[in-house]
Structure 1
Amino acid sequence: MRNPLQDQLLKAGLVKKNKVTQVVREQNRKRHGKGSSNAAPEPDAVDAQQLLAERAERDRALAAERNAQARANELKAQVRQIVEMHRVKREGEIDYRFTDGKAIRSVLVSDVLRAQLAKGALVIVRHGDSHELVPRAAAEKIRERDPEAIVLDHGRSDDGSGDASEDDDFYSQFKVPDDLVW
């Protein structure tokens, strides 16, 4: 099965017989698809494998992004449902003002609701384009799912600074009347 060139090289003494048979065996393996493990893969096959790997990685990243978006939408829906189930009916004629980001908002409340807001028993949460009052237990459930939805919570201090305690100590000597309305 040797070709004429191999026979000529063998007769001229330029190669040895065992080297020629080894080359013939390797050519047969390549021809019949029984390639050895140390044979170099073809460049087209490497490019195709690389493209498949890149496509699979991109698909995984897109799937992870879709899953994260679906999870965020699910949490927002849960927050909406908690607010709708636990919201306190707002009634009264007192304007209760609070800050939402950089804007000052207000809701109409009664004296009882205003006192509960001041104590921290009620919390103001963002619900779509409006704001709602919810009890503290519902607010904790909302805080677990979306802390950004809580607008005002007097029962929990968001300040992590140590300066607040020094200020509290200083201002504790000045008593403010309970019936003061702003």
Structure 2
Amino acid sequence: MQMRNPLQEQLLKAGLTTKGKVAQAVREQTKQRQGKAPVPPAAEQIDAQRLKAEKAERDRAIEAERKTQAQANEVRAQIRQIIGAHKVKREGELEYRFTDGDKIKTLLVNEALRAQLAKGVLVIARDDNSYALLPRPAADKIYTRDASVILLDHGTPGESTSNEDDEYYKQFQVPDDLTW
């Protein structure tokens, strides 16, 4: 007679199971224990698995880099398209100076364009190797993609200039003969 665990003995005494069911449970447990013994993998298999995992990781990194590059190219193409479609024609003889990084650049504009630049209705954006004047709605589209393209903006991005503020401040008149 083989040794049973105390729980099996109690179940037999209480009449809740039979000797055949207990023996079958013991056989299944023995099979499970023998089947679970892992076979140690050979050194070649370990090296092959490691190389396969490293290759998969490299492939994932390369694919992520390609995706990032493709997205950056797509954003640049969208910006070029927006600038090409909304560019305001520059004309005039007045010099308008602005900074591009640490360099001071000059554009020739007329008085109307200068006033619009000062109010923030127009902005200056980098267009490949030149500069473009863009209206506020186009600049807002570019801000959502890459804000570094906009070089000069005297307005607030996302807000168009409104006359409500001007109307409010008209009630506070400043005298013309004010001296400091």
What band does the TM-score fall into relative to the shorter chain? Answer: 0.5 to 0.7
**Unaligned segments of structure 2, at least 5 residues:** 1-34, 158-180
Aligned match of 1:136: 136
- Corresponding letter in the other structure for 1:92: G
SS at match of 1:88: coil
Taking the TM superposition and a 5 Å limit, the aligned residue runs for 1:88-127 are 88-127=88-127
The residue that corresponds to 2:154 in the other structure is 154
State the SS of the aligned residue for 1:40: coil
CA deviation after TM superposition for structure 1 residue 156, in Å: 2.6
* SS class of match (1:148): helix
Task: Deviation per CA, 1:104-157: give whole Å up to 9, x if none.
Answer: 001111110000000000000000111000001100111111111000000038
Indicate whether 1:48 and 2:77 are aligned.
no
* 2:69 partner SS: helix
Alignment of 1:8-27 (within 5 A): none
Q: Given residue 53 of structure 1, which amino acid in structure 2 is its aligned partner?
A: A
Shift of 1:39: 1.3
Amino acid corresponding to residue 112 of structure 2 in structure 1: V
The TM-score with structure 2 as length reference comes to: 0.66
Give the count of matched residue pairs.
123
Return 5+ residue gaps in structure 1 as ranges.
1-34, 158-182
Provide the alpha-carbon RMSD of the alignment. Answer: 1.4
The corresponding residue for 2:80 is 80
Q: Separation in 2 of the partners of 1:131 and 1:67? A: 29
4+ residue runs over 6 A deviation = none
Match of 2:168 in 1: none
TM-score by length of 1: 0.65
* Other structure's SS at 2:56 match: helix
